[in-house]
């Protein structure tokens, strides 16, 4: 909807108040964004994307009017939101931000547990599974009004049910501040091993990791809701499948809360650049999964090894969409790769092969800090990574983001000076496709000696072949490119040269 003003709103201090009446029926399943789940003790309502939002006006495009057609998610402006939910008192309500009046919504006993949870690193039960059908576990008044407040946010969501078990714990932030990890779920979700009874532990671990590694969590609470939604993120609250457990529960919880950083803190345009949202989040999820409880759920990765022959053929094949394609245009079967896997793989390669962990982490951390609660473009990301790392990465962005190039490096020739191995060898390598990358070469001699040589990407700047000298004391029996398999090689079979007879 457009609202035309009789007079322009002043840029400094101007205010306008819009009053809009709206209503809708919560759908049973709202495209994995919201919905209703029937459980044996009542319906779980998950409510999101439920009120009118202001279109983003940025200094690149002006009003961002691209329509919402399905795959793409909202591009939203930041602000402070107060909202209240009035509901029958037998329902427990959770929402984005801080519950400012818990004493009006919980019993005296639950308030003691609430206070204990705020000070505890271990999960504290606020309403147990045995209390679900106990009338004394809810206030006696017919209705409760739940008041929530959240600042510097782009959205709010909430959930309600009389079937909720609720627990919580303290989250420790690097500044010394504390906030709360909260979980609500029906009893059915906690009867399996590593079910929702571990949700709060997972929320706490995820939030503390990202806060220490990249940027401090900015909200007073992080709430995980078990319901019909498979996985969806909102500021301070996420919806995850009530049927998840173990690896699945950790994976979806960590991924949805990872979205706090992309795009809740770094407000990139999901309408156009899904790779800056889903892809960056998938990348940081790998580090969080490695860290949580000594890698307890390391198998949580959906895609497996992105550098396997099968995945490389899929990710870099002719039918794969490029990263710069908007979500609605990406072929549906390709969305998981183009928006999630490939950009995550790109950042991992940039960190492990090109910049190294120290330089990459410093630059990526600065990107989050510099663009927190702002709207970066891809070029803002490119520039920050280059400025902080101190390296021109134009060749890298062209290959991974702006084009759909492949990587295929091979050993073309091995020869010896004066045909004598003890005088040294010359090795010629070749890149057969358009993607340039640094080269790691493992050289094995027949006498058992091995050496590694790391060649920078600049070896390709004058052409597709490069010859370099190697000190050898015996015949070379094998030359292997990318021996650690850190690169997405299109044809790994030609990465190895072997002397005949070996």
Q: Which residues contact 204 (CB under 8 A, 6 or more apart)?
A: 121, 169, 170, 171, 181
The number of helix segments (H) and strand segments (E) in the chain equals 10, 23
Contact 217, 207 (CB under 8 A): yes
Comparing C-alpha atoms, which of 337, 327, 332 is closest to residue 304?
Answer: 337
Structure confidence at residue 496 (pLDDT): 97
Q: How far is CA 4 from CA 9, 12, 56, 65, 77, in A?
A: 11, 19, 16, 15, 19
What value does the CA radius of gyration of the chain take, rounded to a whole number of Å? Answer: 27
Q: Name residue, tokens 């959906």.
A: 302
Q: Name residue, tokens 């108040």.
A: 17
Structure confidence at residue 500 (pLDDT): 85
Q: What pTM value is reported for the model?
A: 0.96
Contact 232, 48 (CB under 8 A): yes
Q: What is the dihedral of CA 100, 101, 105, 109, to 10 degrees?
A: 100
Kindly write down the DSSP assignment for every residue of 268-290, as one continuous string: --TTT-GGGTHHHHHHHHHHHHH
Output phi, psi for 153, to 5 deg. -120, 160
What span, in angstroms and rounded, lies between the C-alpha atoms of 121 and 123?
7
Q: Name residue, tokens 């044809």.
A: 491
Instruction: List residues bridging with 94 in a β-sheet.
Output: 159
Eight-state DSSP code of residue 27: P
Question: In 3-state terms, what secondary structure has residue 161?
Answer: strand
Structure confidence at residue 74 (pLDDT): 87
Q: How far is CA 463 from CA 133, 181, 398, 457, 482, in A?
A: 74, 55, 17, 11, 20
Q: All domains of the chain, ordered by start, with CATH?
A: 29-246 (no CATH), 409-498 (2.60.40.10)
Kindly write down the DSSP assignment for every residue of 319-373, as one continuous string: TPPPTTS-TTTS-GGGHIIIIIIHHHHHHHHIIIIII-HHHHHHHHHHHHHHTTT
3-state SS, 46-65, equals EECCCCCCCCCEECCCEECC
Q: In this structure, which long-range contacts are made by residues 352-357, counting pairs with CB atoms below 8 Å and at least 24 apart in sequence?
A: 352/486, 353/437, 353/438, 353/486, 353/487, 354/391, 354/393, 354/396, 354/437, 354/438, 354/457, 355/389, 355/391
pLDDT tens sequence for the chain (502 residues):
899 999 988 988 999 999 999 999 999 999 999 999 999 999 999 999 999 988 999 889 999 999 888 777 889 999 999 999 999 999 999 999 999 999 999 999 999 999 999 999 999 999 999 999 999 999 999 999 999 999 999 999 999 999 999 999 999 999 999 999 999 999 999 999 999 999 999 999 999 999 999 999 999 999 999 999 999 999 999 999 999 999 999 999 999 999 999 999 999 999 999 999 999 999 999 999 999 999 999 875 666 799 999 999 999 999 999 999 999 999 999 999 999 999 999 999 999 999 999 999 999 999 999 999 999 999 999 999 999 999 999 999 999 999 999 999 999 999 999 999 999 999 999 999 999 999 999 999 999 999 999 999 999 999 999 999 999 999 999 999 999 999 999 999 999 999 987 6
Contact 124, 117 (CB under 8 A): yes
């Amino acid at each position: 909807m457009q609202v035309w003003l009789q007079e322009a709103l002043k840029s400094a201090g101007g205010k306008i108040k819009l009053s809009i009446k709206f209503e809708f029926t919560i759908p049973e399943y709202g495209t994995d964004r919201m919905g209703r789940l029937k459980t044996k003790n009542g319906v779980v309502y998950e409510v999101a994307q439920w009120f009118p939002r202001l279109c983003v006006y940025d200094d690149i495009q002006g009003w961002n009017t691209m329509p919402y057609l399905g795959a793409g998610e909202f591009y939203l402006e930041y602000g402070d939101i107060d909202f209240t939910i009035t509901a029958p008192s037998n329902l427990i309500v959770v929402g984005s931000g801080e519950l400012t009046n818990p004493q009006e919504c919980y019993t005296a006993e639950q308030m003691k547990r609430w206070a204990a949870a705020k000070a505890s690193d271990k999960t504290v039960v606020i309403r147990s599974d045995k209390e679900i059908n106990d009338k004394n576990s809810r206030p006696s008044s017919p209705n409760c009004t739940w008041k929530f407040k959240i600042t510097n946010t782009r959205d709010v969501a909430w959930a309600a049910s009389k079937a909720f078990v609720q627990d919580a714990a303290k989250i420790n932030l690097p500044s010394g501040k504390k906030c709360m990890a909260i979980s609500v779920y029906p009893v059915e979700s906690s009867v399996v091993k590593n079910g929702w009874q571990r949700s709060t532990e997972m929320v706490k671990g995820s939030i503390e990791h990202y806060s220490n590694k990249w940027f401090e969590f900015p909200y007073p609470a992080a709430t995980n809701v078990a319901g019909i939604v498979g996985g969806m993120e909102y500021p301070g609250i996420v919806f995850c499948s009530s049927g998840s457990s173990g690896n699945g529960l950790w994976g979806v919880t960590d991924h949805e809360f990872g979205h706090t950083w992309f795009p809740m803190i770094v407000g990139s345009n999901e309408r156009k650049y899904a790779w800056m949202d889903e892809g960056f989040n998938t990348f940081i999820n790998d580090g969080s999964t490695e860290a949580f409880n000594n890698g307890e759920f390391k198998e949580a990765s959906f895609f497996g090894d992105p550098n396997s022959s099968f995945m490389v053929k899929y990710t870099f094949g002719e039918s794969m969409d490029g990263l710069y394609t908007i979500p609605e245009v990406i072929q549906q079967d390709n969305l998981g790769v183009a928006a999630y896997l490939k950009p995550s793989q790109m950042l991992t390669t940039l960190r492990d092969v090109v910049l190294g962990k120290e330089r990459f982490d410093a630059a990526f951390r600065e990107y989050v800090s510099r663009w927190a609660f702002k709207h970066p473009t891809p070029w803002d990301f490119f520039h920050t990574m280059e400025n902080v790392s101190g390296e021109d990465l134009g060749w890298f962005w062209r290959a991974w983001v702006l084009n759909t190039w492949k990587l295929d490096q091979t050993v073309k020739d091995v020869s010896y000076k004066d045909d004598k191995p003890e005088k040294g060898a010359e090795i010629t390598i070749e890149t057969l496709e358009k993607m340039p990358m640094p080269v790691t070469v493992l050289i094995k001699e027949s006498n058992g000696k091995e050496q590694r040589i790391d060649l920078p990407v600049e070896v390709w700047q004058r052409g597709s072949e490069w010859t370099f000298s190697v000190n050898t004391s015996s015949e070379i029996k094998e030359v292997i490119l990318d021996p650690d398999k850190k690169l997405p090689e299109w044809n790994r079979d030609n990465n190895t040269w072997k002397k005949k007879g070996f």
